[in-house]
Structure 1
Amino acid sequence: MSHNHGADSAPPSRRSVVKGAAWAVPAVVVAGAAPTVAASSGPLSFTGGACKLPGNANDIFKGYVFELTAVNTLGPGPTTGVTVITNVRINGVPVTGYQVVVKSGTTCSCATCTPPLSTVCNTFCTPDGEVQRIFVYTNSQANSQNTSFSLDYQRYECSTCAAIDPTPVSISSGTLSTPPATGGGGSCNIQGAVPPPPLNAACA
């Protein structure tokens, strides 16, 4: 009995300690990876919302609409941001006609800054500390139910027109389902996607 009692109270072997430590390592790795995922959204990011705009649904855009979120963090860099969206692609194919619309969130104007490649179709302004819903309507439609969208964007400080992003930033939506949008909304998963805005002829 006394022998068994002594065995029960003996300190754990070195092998047991090492084995226990090995099981603890993955938990530390997983916990450390979470902030990287959260930080990957960036100041302009896809929400996952995308819809097809059939030709019989409207007489303006016959393509797609997809949704992004624009975030201008409060403080410097930029205080008032001007964003230019370029190189819009559907399934890797460049889109020639598209129009960027600020759907919700406070907007602004910046008459003092006209960045390179900026047009009335691809540029929007975001006040300091603001979050906006951004819709991009395209006039190009791929023959596919599962579609991926990608684009480049570059941000500028309104007051100086200095580039915040030294070079354009590329982002991609990954493969998305694109349910059709109709006059009543259809099965489109983007609230407010239809009716589309009046088409600016320069964006066709």
Structure 2
Amino acid sequence: MSDLEEQKPGVSRRTVTKAMAWSVPVVALAVPTPAYAASPGVIELSGLGCKLPGNSQDTFKGYAFRASIQNTTNAQVTVTITDMDLGTSDLGDVGIIDLNTCTLLGTNTFVIPANTTLSNVALVTENAATSENGALIVQYTVEGVPDTASATADGLPPIQGNTCEENVFSATERTCINSIVA
């Protein structure tokens, strides 16, 4: 528009368009993010464990490791152990035993109820190719989200010995483990 043209009273289309561009509300999309995605690991290893006797067990011939498992969310979660290694040895399938109730929660996959801490758990492995010490690594998923727990495992005594009872599992806990894996 030139200076010579007559200006019309009111608001121009250009002014209305600019105002609309700035006044359009921003819509935030609420995409649910699982609480466990940002939380610390669900499985915590102590590194303490005992070796199971090789040929006297039908199902698990490996190790029993002390652990705790925690779900701080308001929903139950499914945990799947995808790999467990000690040093360079793959420990195979893993049974998860709640030592307080002497219950097998599952083999590799188990459910943790909402807002639950299982502070007295044994992870019992299928294999023990060698009597190896070193890095104990558990890789797992929580509802498909990968995570890892690790500890150093040294001096893993036989489960039927006094050293295991004094340092790792009580007599009651050892009886529980043996009753489930036998």
- Smaller-chain TM-score bracket: 0.5 to 0.7
Helix, strand or coil for the counterpart of 1:152?
strand
Partner of 1:169: 147
Q: By percentage of residues, which structure has more strand?
A: 2
Matches within 5 A, 1:61-100: 61-73=60-72, 75-76=73-74, 79-100=75-96
Contact 1:147 1:178 in 2 (8 A): no
Helix, strand or coil for the counterpart of 2:97?
strand
Partner of 2:111: 125
Q: Which amino acid in the other structure matches residue 64 of structure 1?
A: Y
Partner of 2:169: 190
Note the alpha carbon deviations across 1:58-89, whole angstroms, 9 max, x for none: 4343321112111111x44xx11211111111
Q: TM-score, normalised by structure 2?
A: 0.60
Aligned residue pairs, count: 134
Q: Which runs of 4+ in 1 moved over 4 A?
A: none
Identity %: 25
**1:147, 1:186 → 2: CA distance?**
22
Q: Aligned match of 1:140 in 127, 130, 143?
A: 127
Q: Which amino acid in the other structure matches residue 49 of structure 1?
A: L
RMSD: 2.9
Q: TM-score, normalised by structure 1?
A: 0.55
Structure 1 pair 43/198, CA: closer, same or farther in 2 (3 Å)? closer
**1:181, 1:199 → 2: CA distance?**
12
Matches within 5 A, 1:8-19: none
Structure 1 pair 48/129, CA: closer, same or farther in 2 (3 Å)? same
Contact 1:65 1:193 in 2 (8 A): no
**1:179, 1:151 → 2: CA distance?**
20
Residue 122 of structure 1 deviates from its aligned partner by 0.7
* Greater C-alpha Rg: 2
**1:44, 1:198 → 2: CA distance?**
21
Helix, strand or coil for the counterpart of 2:162?
coil
Q: Any unmatched runs of 5+ in structure 2?
A: 1-38
Q: Any unmatched runs of 5+ in structure 1?
A: 1-39, 110-119, 157-162
